[in-house]
Structure 1
């Protein structure tokens, strides 16, 4: 798997839930903070205003049909038809709801233009989140019409507005695809000459850097391989010293330190979600001896792998 695919697989627990909502102007809706979650909003038709009082800096955005928002840190925000609309409290959603809930505006609808949104929520595992997610801004906004994103939005709109056989499986997969397009666009924009981190530090810069990105892909694709700094440098097409310096500048830690973190993170996910024998997990994590793997895992998580699995 490549790095972005791994980030998606690592970040969430369970499947995303979603709701298709038709809003009738004037309208306003508060979406409260939900720690340990991430939100997605897709404007399928019409327009609305985003108001996000994020801790870092407030965000005010006018959103149009096709626009996509990703809010990765679980902070609260509001959507409204315009700045003068009254904002209602958080919606009350039924427990055990299906993958897609379809509803009209809560409360008394207005008689103005309609806006249709698809809102989705991901439950995150903050203890094991990839550092790429922690570096993301409070709000990622992709205007409609961006290649890849536009097609994903069109598929989501068609499936959400005319559900059929397999919708409960298709919607989570389409939301994952949309999220990958959002993160890919963020990496591409940040690493571009006019972006926020061309040649700088941070995960967007790391993934946009051909040499560092190649090394990261190698580590994620073959975590069991006995990688050395020299072998990773050769894969990246740089000298050992130049590669080690560039990797640390971009990622914030040495190559083998990140490799160990990734191996242990992968092992923890397998322990939590599968019945794979410890010997197999040790081998997949690059350890020929189970006791060496257990020692490394305990150093990383403070408990032996067998006890971690039982807990």
Structure 2
């Protein structure tokens, strides 16, 4: 798998669709800070998005979509002068999967959110800007439009399994949105996401993720990326924020931590699976990265409900 696929899989990414919004005339709806990553798409019409902490609103047109990668209150509105109403009561009155604001049906928005397992904030969300906006006219945005149209069709036809299919399509949309964001605004990404925008670094990252247990050296990675050792080391450090082998250590520990949370495998088995020759070497590395020995880490983990279990009103 590639790094993006690896991280989204590790985080147990799930899409959750919400009640849609139909609006017309002068209207505004105020939303509390969402759990997880919020997404909305304008299927018809246009509106303004205001997110707390951002200097100015974002104009959304038909076909546009956005991700809200921070837990901040936000407002959707027809114009700056419209007086907002709270989303909770409005969406509590929704009928046939749609809430209504204002007068008429000039605007249609479909939305939902993405929930993740442990470590999402540090591994993914902290590397994104607060809002990822994908305009409809963007090159290659056809892939996002396709996913949105397919989601709409599933929700409209109500065939067997339609909700499950639509939620899986939402994850497909997330992958495309992240790809497009990296292509359009690479300077806004940080960490491993930023590394995906540099061809040599991306090649090295893919190699590390493909076989994390391999005894990689910087020279090996440089040959894989077809650049010199010094070039790869410098470019990896400047984009990702750490050296290749430091990154490899942290990724191995992430993989090991997931196995400690989710499986009964022995420490020796996990150590070998992620590239350590002995349980003791693995334990030293795990404690250095996490601050906790692996045995203690496993004992501290208790089954918890992920963000997926938390209800969010509307959109």
Give the TM-score band, short-chain normalised: 0.7 to 0.9
User: TM-score, with normalisation over the residues of structure 1?
Assistant: 0.84
CA contact (8 A) 1:43 1:118 kept: yes
Structure 1 residues 236 and 71: CA distance shift in structure 2, 3 A: same
CA contact (8 A) 2:11 2:119 kept: no
Structure 1 residues 74 and 11: CA distance shift in structure 2, 3 A: farther
Structure 1 residues 220 and 129: CA distance shift in structure 2, 3 A: farther
| CA drift at 1:293 | 1.4
The answer as to 2:289 corresponding to 1:300 is yes
SS in 2 for 1:218: helix
Structure 1 residues 241 and 286: CA distance shift in structure 2, 3 A: same
Determine the C-alpha separation between the residues in 2 that align with 1:88 and 1:231: 58
The answer as to 2:84 corresponding to 1:75 is no
CA contact (8 A) 1:46 1:65 kept: yes
| CA drift at 1:215 | 0.3
- Corresponding residue number in structure 1 for 2:257: 268
CA contact (8 A) 1:33 1:77 kept: yes
Structure 2: unaligned runs, 5 residues or longer: 301-315
- Corresponding residue number in structure 1 for 2:176: 181
The answer as to 2:248 corresponding to 1:251 is no
Instruction: Tell me which of the two structures has the higher relative contact order, counting C-alpha pairs closer than 8 angstroms and 6 or more residues apart.
Output: 2
SS in 2 for 1:300: helix
User: Residues 60-209 of structure 1: matches in 2 within 5 Å?
Assistant: 60-91=57-88, 102-105=97-100, 109-124=101-116, 127-144=119-136, 146-191=141-186, 196=187, 203-209=192-198
Structure 1 residues 128 and 68: CA distance shift in structure 2, 3 A: closer
Cα offsets for 1:223-265 (capped at 9, x unmatched): 1111111111111111212211111111111111111111111
Q: How many residues align?
A: 292
Determine the C-alpha separation between the residues in 2 that align with 1:201 and 1:30: 30
Cα offsets for 1:44-68 (capped at 9, x unmatched): 22322211122xx324122222211
Cα offsets for 1:204-239 (capped at 9, x unmatched): 542121110000011111111111111111111112
- Corresponding residue number in structure 2 for 1:97: none
RMSD of aligned Cα (Å):
2.5
Cα offsets for 1:172-197 (capped at 9, x unmatched): 21111111111101111234xxxx47
Q: Which segment is superposed worse, 44-53 or 63-72?
A: 44-53
- Corresponding residue number in structure 1 for 2:8: 8
Structure 1: unaligned runs, 5 residues or longer: 95-100
Structure 1 residues 11 and 77: CA distance shift in structure 2, 3 A: farther
